[in-house]
């Protein structure tokens, strides 16, 4: 029989996260610090808005672009937070999470052979999204010594005549790094000099501790060359609602909308109702979640450092990224042994790119009680590796 699978799907490996879910599912008493999902239930007002939407019979398709009410309020929201405004009619598209937004953005802009620089460590879908669009992902490794930030000099060195764009995600999954304004401006100057598209995944934009989130598109001269990706899953504890968005200039958004029309049609109607309520009335809930995550962040970073696993201080998202090399184990070995022996699930850093080897991603979107018990188990495990 002929090979039934496309080359592009064959060269993309399965997600490096799924293995640990599968093992954990066969075990009892597992503390999971693996999944990148808020442990909060979606705020009550948002849940009610979704239910009321269904009860009103709003169960049909919306506009391909999403409800105009949501797009207008989102435009105001971005203008208030970051001083950048998008035309709700032509420059905002509501998507099925940021994953669809990213996939659509790549398909709309990348031709076979185009190179996209991908800053690693990064979310597991970044490189596959480039490959599925026919492009070539070029890794730009960030380092703990630079606080896992992209530098202008490193970006310059990664460029080739085939480079079309740069894909970044800050606040970062898995490191928790936040890009400073100074570093963002370095990247912006390189993007302008070499006429690069910038795909900026800002799904964790509100989850920043003791600093500010810099919206890349809001930097001088960057609006027209930036595809801004965002959503409601992380900031508003709405992962299962599957509502994201993509913003950009009208030409690019028109192309992404065309792909969205054929693949998706429209994002879930009741999910959009929930997202609208989130933007209108959930600010206090967001602030309370940030406060709680910040407390957990401080406990887990202090705990991992005390155990002897040097841990970069995350400034955003809800992940810590401890250095596990002192154990003498690879990232995969560390995570599998920890899960099997102490029933604590974390994710190997190599799942997020080769430069993540020697690290593990530890998600602190878990209860304080689970975090404290997990730290006790991790300490016991690490002592046995000496």
**Residue carrying structure tokens 């953005």:** 105
**Burial of residue 230, with CB atoms counted within 10 A of its CB: 0-12 exposed, 13-18 middle, 19 or more buried:** buried
359 phi/psi in degrees, rounded to 5: -130, 170
Mean pLDDT check: name the lowest of 15-19, 139-143, 177-181, 357-361: 15-19
Alpha carbon distance 375, 378 (integer Å): 5
Question: In this structure, are 93 and 144 located in the same domain?
Answer: yes
Residue indicated by tokens 């899960």? 339
Do residues 297 and 171 share a domain?
no
Q: Which of 254, 281, 308 is the last residue of a domain?
A: 281
Residue 24 has pLDDT above 90, yes or no: no
The answer to whether 55 and 218 are in contact (CB under 8 A) is: no
Residue 278 pLDDT grade (very low, low, confident, very high; cuts 50, 70, 90): very high
Instruction: Quote the DSSP letter at residue 330.
Output: -
Q: What one-character DSSP code corresponds to residue 42? A: P
Residue 15: pLDDT band with limits 50, 70, 90: confident
Could you tell me the pLDDT band of residue 14, with boundaries at 50, 70 and 90?
Answer: confident
Query: Is 1 a residue whose pLDDT tops 90?
Result: no
Tell me the whole-structure pTM to 2 decimals: 0.94
Domain boundary among 249, 281, 313: 281
**Residue written as token pair 């093992």:** 23
Band of residue 126 on the pLDDT scale cut at 50, 70, 90: very high
Same domain, 215 and 361: no
117-136 average pLDDT score: 96
Residue 81 shares a structural domain with residue 226: yes
From 245, 260, 281, the end of a domain falls on 281
182 in a domain, yes or no?
yes
Tell which phi-psi region holds residue 350, choosing left (phi > 0), alpha (psi between -120 and 50) or beta. alpha
Distance, CA of 211 to CA of 234 (rounded, Å): 18
Task: Answer yes or no: do 222 and 266 share one domain.
Answer: yes
Q: Are 191 and 166 in contact (CB under 8 A)?
A: yes
Contacts of residue 253, defined as CB under 8 A and 6 or more positions apart, other chains included, come to 90, 91, 92, 93, 246, 247
Residue 120 backbone phi and psi in degrees, to 5: -115, 155
> Does the pLDDT of residue 186 top 80, yes or no?
yes
If one compares 186 and 37, the residue with the highest pLDDT of the two is: 186
Give the N- to C-terminal CA distance of the chain in Å, as an integer.
52
Question: What confidence category does residue 27 fall into, taking pLDDT thresholds of 50, 70 and 90?
Answer: confident
Angle (nearest 5°) at CA 364 between 25 and 372: 85
SS (H, E, C) 199-222: EEECCCCCCECCCCCCCHHHCCCC
For residues 16 and 117, state if they share a domain: no
Q: What is the pLDDT of residue 4?
A: 82
Give the model's confidence band at 349: pLDDT under 50 very low, under 70 low, under 90 confident, else very high: very high
The rounded percent of the chain whose pLDDT value lies above 70 is 100
- Residue 199 confidence class, pLDDT cut points 50, 70, 90: very high
Integer Cα distance of 148 and 320 in angstroms: 12
pLDDT reported for residue 9: 85
**Residues 221, 110 share a domain:** yes
Q: For 164, phi and psi rounded to 5 degrees?
A: -110, -30
What is the band of 123 on the pLDDT scale with cuts at 50, 70, 90? very high
Looking at residue 230, its pLDDT comes to 98
Whether 1 is covered by a domain: the verdict is no
Instruction: Express as a percent the part of the chain with pLDDT over 90.
Output: 90
What pLDDT is stored for residue 25 in this prediction?
Answer: 73
CA separation for the pair 320, 224 (Å, rounded): 33
- Identify whether the C-beta of residue 151 lies closer than 8 Å to the C-beta of residue 129: no
pLDDT at 11: 81
Which tens digits make up the pLDDT trace of 296-322? 999 999 999 999 999 999 999 999 999
Q: In which domain, by residue range, is 323 found? A: 7-42+284-384
What pLDDT, on a 0 to 100 scale, did the predictor assign at position 28?
81
Residue 8: what pLDDT? 84
Pairing of strands 244-247, 311-312: unpaired
* Alpha helices (H) along 319-366: 331-342
CA distance 293 to 345: 19
* Whether residue 321 sits in one domain with residue 277: no
Based on the domain organization, do 223 and 97 belong to the same domain?
Answer: yes
**pLDDT of 215:** 98
143: domain CATH number is 3.40.640.10
The pLDDT of 81-110, averaged and rounded, is 97
Q: What is the pLDDT of residues 233-264, one digit of tens each?
A: 999 999 999 999 999 999 999 999 999 999 99
* Residue 244 confidence (pLDDT): 98
pLDDT band of 2, cuts 50, 70, 90: confident
Q: Give the mean model confidence (pLDDT) for residues 337-358.
A: 95
């Amino acid at each position: 029989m002929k090979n039934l699978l496309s080359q592009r799907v064959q060269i993309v490996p399965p997600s490096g996260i799924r293995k640990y879910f599968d093992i954990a599912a066969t075990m009892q008493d597992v503390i999971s610090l693996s999944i990148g999902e808020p442990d909060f239930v979606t705020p009550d007002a948002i849940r009610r808005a979704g239910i009321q939407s269904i009860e009103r019979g709003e169960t049909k398709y919306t506009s391909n672009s999403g409800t105009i009410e949501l797009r207008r309020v989102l435009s105001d929201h971005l203008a208030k937070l970051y001083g950048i405004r998008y035309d709700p009619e032509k420059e905002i598209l509501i998507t099925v999470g940021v994953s669809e937004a990213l996939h659509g953005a790549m398909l709309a802009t990348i031709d076979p052979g185009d190179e996209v620089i991908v800053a690693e460590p990064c979310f597991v879908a970044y490189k596959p999204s480039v490959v599925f669009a026919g492009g070539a992902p070029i890794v730009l490794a960030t380092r703990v010594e630079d606080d896992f930030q992209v530098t202008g000099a490193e970006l310059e060195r990664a460029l080739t005549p085939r480079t079309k764009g740069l894909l970044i995600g800050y606040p970062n999954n898995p490191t928790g790094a936040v890009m400073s304004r100074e570093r963002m401006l370095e990247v912006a100057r390189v993007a302008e000099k070499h006429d690069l598209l910038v795909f900026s995944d800002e799904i964790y934009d509100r989850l920043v501790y003791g600093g500010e989130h810099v919206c890349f598109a809001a930097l001088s001269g960057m609006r027209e060359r930036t595809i801004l990706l965002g959503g409601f899953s992380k900031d508003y504890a709405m992962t299962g609602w599957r509502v994201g968005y993509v913003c950009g200039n009208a030409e690019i958004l028109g192309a992404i909308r065309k792909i969205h029309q054929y693949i998706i049609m429209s994002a879930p109607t009741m999910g959009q109702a929930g997202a609208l309520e989130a933007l209108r009335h959930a600010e206090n809930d967001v602030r309370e979640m940030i406060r709680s995550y910040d407390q957990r962040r401080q406990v887990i970073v202090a705990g991992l450092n005390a155990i002897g696993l040097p841990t970069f201080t995350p400034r955003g998202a809800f992940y810590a990224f401890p250095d596990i090399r002192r154990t003498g184990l690879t990232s995969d070995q560390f995570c599998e042994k920890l899960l099997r022996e102490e029933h604590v699930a974390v994710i190997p850093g190599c799942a997020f790119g080769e430069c993540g080897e020697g690290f593990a991603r530890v998600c602190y979107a878990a209860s304080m009680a689970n975090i404290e018990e997990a730290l006790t188990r991790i300490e016991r495990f690490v002592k046995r590796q000496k």
